[in-house]
């Protein structure tokens, strides 16, 4: 074959390959990249918590409570102005791009807390301590592998986008979420009977993140069962968490399903660390097991009023 003809053939092949690639569009991982979420005054949940930790890492004095109120709005406007962005107080794609920080093993700061909070949204059950150790490395690599990303163990902009923009896999459906990360305990743990009345005790190590089972108002943050938190749910039920080592919310504050409430411990009258949950309807205790199993399985959550009052204790 003459040289000119050979070159023409090779050129036509390259053109055909380029056209087919363009028509095929981006790779599966790129096509699946979630959009950065919009956060504004009134937003709640783990994405807000992560944004607040990132703002603290950037040097701003801000309360980390998972609630996007006037204080967070004001801080975001200041951050946006300082970074040449439109100071509208809304965290969108451009603001996220300026907020996130590339992180790797060994880092110890509030940005790592933001990362750990975001990983926990996806069910990893990490202690939010700001220290990037082996558990955080393992979680990042696992998350990257699950989402078709390069498994480099580094939290760069793309990994952040999947973490923040993804809906999470911590176990949940509708306006309900599991009270700890789905990967923390096996399904069988949610069938356990309580020792003397309708409730459940989940055996977890101190420092496990505890999440709001549904949206509502913190009606109690006291000490009658160790460090406790009570949520008056928007569904009309009351949810009591006990024996925490620390709390992240205050009495009277609003929470969303999946928002961080605090961290498990062994405070109060206990024989070891665990998370105690009660579900009360009109003041009477109901068995939480069926609700938690539905959340674990991702099936329809039974109404609190339909939960049994017997059969879940001995």
Tens of pLDDT, residue by residue over 111-131, are: 999 999 888 777 676 788 899
Q: Are 300 and 237 contained in the same domain? A: yes
One domain, residues 206 and 152:
no
How many percent of the chain have pLDDT more than 90?
60
Higher pLDDT, 171 or 192: 192
Instruction: Tell me the pLDDT tens digit for each residue of 99-113.
Output: 999 999 999 999 999
On whether the CB atoms of residues 232 and 274 are closer than 8 A, the answer is no
pLDDT confidence of residue 46:
80
What lies within 8 Å, CB to CB, of 151 at 6+ separation is: 141, 144, 145
pLDDT at 151: 95
Task: Name the domain boundary from 121, 136, 165.
Answer: 165
In a domain, 225, yes or no: yes
Domain at 267, CATH number: 2.70.70.10
pLDDT for 301 equals: 87
- Domain boundary at 109, 139, 165, which? 165
What mean pLDDT is predicted for residues 51-63?
Answer: 96
Question: Does residue 4 lie in a domain region?
Answer: no
**What's the mean pLDDT when you consider all of the chain?**
86
Instruction: Report yes or no on whether pTM surpasses 0.85.
Output: no
- Token duo for residue 158: 């793309």
Contacts of residue 2, Cβ cutoff 8 Å, sequence gap at least 6 = none
What is the number of other CB atoms lying within 10 angstroms of the CB of residue 218? 19
d(CA 42, CA 38): 11
More confident residue, 119 or 45: 119
Total of domains in the chain: 2
Query: What six digits make up the tokens of 71?
Result: 């204080």
CATH number where 158 lies: 1.10.101.10
More reliable by pLDDT, 124 or 164: 164
Same domain flag for 142 and 217: no
148 and 215 together in one domain: no
- Average pLDDT of span 200-215: 93
User: Domain check: are 156 and 233 in the same one?
Assistant: no
* DSSP tag of 108: B
173 phi, psi to nearest 5 deg: -160, 145
**Structural domain boundaries, residue 261:** 177-306
């Amino acid at each position: 074959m003459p040289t000119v003809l050979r070159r023409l053939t090779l050129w036509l092949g390259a053109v055909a390959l380029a056209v087919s690639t363009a028509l095929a569009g981006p790779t599966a991982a790129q096509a699946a990249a979630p959009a950065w979420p919009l956060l504004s005054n009134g937003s709640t949940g783990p994405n807000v918590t992560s944004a607040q930790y990132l703002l603290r890492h950037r040097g701003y004095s801000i309360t980390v409570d998972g609630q996007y109120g006037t204080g967070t709005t004001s801080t975001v406007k200041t951050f946006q102005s300082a970074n040449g962005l439109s100071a509208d107080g809304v965290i969108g794609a451009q603001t996220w791009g300026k907020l996130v920080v590339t992180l790797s093993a060994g880092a110890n700061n509030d940005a790592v807390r933001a990362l750990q909070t975001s990983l926990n949204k996806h069910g990893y059950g990490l202690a939010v301590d700001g220290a990037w150790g082996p558990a955080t490395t393992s979680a990042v690599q696992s998350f990257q592998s699950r989402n078709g990303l390069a498994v480099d163990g580094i939290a760069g902009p793309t990994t952040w986008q999947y973490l923040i923009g993804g809906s999470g896999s911590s176990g949940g459906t509708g306006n309900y979420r599991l009270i700890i990360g789905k990967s923390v305990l096996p399904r069988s743990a949610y069938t356990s009977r309580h020792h003397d009345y309708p409730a459940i005790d989940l055996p977890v190590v101190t420092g496990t993140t505890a999440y709001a089972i549904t949206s509502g108002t913190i009606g109690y943050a006291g000490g009658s069962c160790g460090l406790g938190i009570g949520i008056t749910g928007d569904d009309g039920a009351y949810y009591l968490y006990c024996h925490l080592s620390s709390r992240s919310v205050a009495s009277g504050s609003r929470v969303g399903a999946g928002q961080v409430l605090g961290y498990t411990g062994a405070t109060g009258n206990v024989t070891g660390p665990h998370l105690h949950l009660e579900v009360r309807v009109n003041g009477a205790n109901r068995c939480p097991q069926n609700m938690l199993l539905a959340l674990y399985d991702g099936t329809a959550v039974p109404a609190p009023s339909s939960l049994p009052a017997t059969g879940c204790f001995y």
